[in-house]
Amino acid sequence: MTVRQLYDKVGGDYENTLARFLTEERMVRFALKFPADQSYALLKNSLESGDMKEAFRGAHTLKGVCQNLGFTALYEPAHRVTEDLRAGNQVKEEDLRELEERYKELLDALRAFGESNA
């Protein structure tokens, strides 16, 4: 799988991300670090425990990481969740479901990419 194919598969913004990182090698180096990022876990755990301040921090960090890496399909629900939490609103279940689906799809794609390019 090529880097472009990875970005196509996950609904990413290949062109703008490449322009920002300058080389595919740098894109890959940072993209493959994404699974170690704990912001999604922080968001989920904080929502479960009712800590909305920490949930916001997790959502906001996840949104920023996705924006920087060009993971648009995950960025969009992360952005909606972030803005609901910022406003003190209840997070919509459909946004959380989409966020979880996109997150899992991205992790699966990154794992497959890493294995196919090892």
Please name the residues in contact with 73: beta carbons below 8 A apart, sequence gap of 6 or more.
10, 11, 12, 102, 105, 106
Domains of the chain: 3-116 (1.20.120)
CB atoms closer than 10 angstroms to residue 32: 14
Please name the residues in contact with 53: beta carbons below 8 A apart, sequence gap of 6 or more.
46
Please name the residues in contact with 24: beta carbons below 8 A apart, sequence gap of 6 or more.
3, 18
What pLDDT does 59 receive?
A: 98
What pLDDT does 9 receive?
A: 95
Q: Do the beta carbons of residue 59 and residue 89 sit within 8 Å?
A: no
What pLDDT does 117 receive?
A: 86
pTM equals 0.94
Residue with tokens 């703008």: 16
What pLDDT does 22 receive?
A: 97
Per-residue pLDDT tens digits of the chain, which is 118 residues long: 999 999 999 999 999 999 999 999 999 999 999 999 999 999 999 999 999 999 999 999 999 999 999 999 999 999 999 999 999 999 999 999 999 999 999 999 999 999 988 7
What pLDDT does 97 receive?
A: 98
Q: Six-digit token pair at 68?
A: 């920087």
Distances (CA, A) of 95 to 27, 92, 115: 27, 5, 30
